[in-house]
Structure 1
């Protein structure tokens, strides 16, 4: 449930009530515009890349993420234009893959720019999709910090975890096919870092000797 009732306290500098559709700050307008433009770019990219996908698993990921992103785009547009609750709350994206990663590096050919669209492959496509999901998570987080309208802020903030989940799903897919490799420290170095912090034993509050 969003925060529509907070509109009652929104006022302009002259003390008048601000209608919900105009309850937006300047930074908010520019940042949400960037969020929506990036969403259109990601959706268009999926449509362009879809005919080049070879792996049925990747095609399933692309289609599921496309449908979910389209729905989120629509409800952000609704709340942005009206300043009110969209037709339904932000949904939760559910990935199908397990969260098992393969650690370690495996030799592979160096990457280089392609010379024609005939060279487009699943590694590139999943990389493009992963980049778009990461960009969306970053852009929406930054925008949510600038939004004045409480409903728009919540709609955008609630969509950030979905971007993270999509990126995670794509990184697992890439890792499984050795497109995205994850190096791992040796046990001694890993344990040193894991044990370099300890929980605080103190009580809440500032020490008495601090002025």
Structure 2
């Protein structure tokens, strides 16, 4: 290309093409996973989360495909995923009745596993979109990717809250003295920024 300008749908660098290819392939996998798991969900709350996240993720996927192929703004603006739950966590560890181990049969699948698969999928989506956004030369693709990263984080957070509420995701804590000590290891900086002479 030797520094020449290119038509909008070809203004992508090689890293961007490969990273977005990975993001789109992972998005298809995540959407397919939701479709496969949906019939096995027993809890209505988890089913509602799965359906809301599926619809939102499908729309994001379609927007990314659209701007990736055209190099132009998608047909509608990106939006923010909104959780339908509070931010309440229960802290502490409780002994589990059974150690975790791999399934031996599909009949063992349950809401704990399903919510865990969905959580892992949302985390992987965020992890894949960060390098893709950093490598994107097309400004529209970069913006769509960067706008979707907080949505992956929000979906993962919603799923972790769901898991915590049902005892699937325990959150250990340090004792108050240890926490206080760690907090006090840091202080704010004051004064003007150092300037080179």
Question: Would you say same fold, with TM above 0.5?
Answer: yes
How far apart, in 2, do the equivalents of 1:205 and 1:83 lie? 42
Q: For 1:32, which of 20, 37, 43 is the aligned residue?
A: 20
Query: How far apart are 1:169 and its partner, in Å?
Result: 0.1
Which position in structure 2 is the counterpart of 1:77? 65
Pair 1:154 & 2:143 matched: yes
Look up the SS of the partner of 1:60 in the other structure.
helix
Query: How far apart are 1:145 and its partner, in Å?
Result: 0.6
* Correspondence 1:53-68 to 2 at 5 A: 53-68=41-56
Query: How far apart are 1:202 and its partner, in Å?
Result: 2.2
Pair 1:137 & 2:138 matched: no
Unaligned runs of 5+ in 1: 1-11
Which position in structure 1 is the counterpart of 2:31? 43
Which position in structure 1 is the counterpart of 2:171? 182
TM-score by length of 1: 0.91
Aligned residue pairs, count: 196
Query: How far apart are 1:204 and its partner, in Å?
Result: 1.6
Unaligned runs of 5+ in 2: none
RMSD over aligned CA atoms reads 0.9
TM-score by length of 2: 0.97
CA offsets 1:43-87 (integer angstroms, 9 cap, x no match):
000000000000000000000000000000000000000000001
Pair 1:128 & 2:127 matched: no
Residues 207/29 of structure 1: CA separation in 2 closer, same or farther (3 Å cut): closer
How far apart, in 2, do the equivalents of 1:88 and 1:189 lie? 49
Look up the SS of the partner of 1:190 in the other structure.
helix
Which position in structure 2 is the counterpart of 1:193? 182
Query: How far apart are 1:201 and its partner, in Å?
Result: 1.3
Please identify the structure whose Cα radius of gyration is greater.
1
Query: How far apart are 1:17 and its partner, in Å?
Result: 2.5
Structure 1 stretches of 4+ moved >2 Å: 205-208
Query: How far apart are 1:207 and its partner, in Å?
Result: 6.3
How far apart, in 2, do the equivalents of 1:146 and 1:17 lie? 18
Query: How far apart are 1:196 and its partner, in Å?
Result: 1.1
How far apart, in 1, do the equivalents of 2:151 and 2:52 lie? 12
Which position in structure 1 is the counterpart of 2:157? 168
Which position in structure 1 is the counterpart of 2:194? 205
Query: How far apart are 1:147 and its partner, in Å?
Result: 0.6
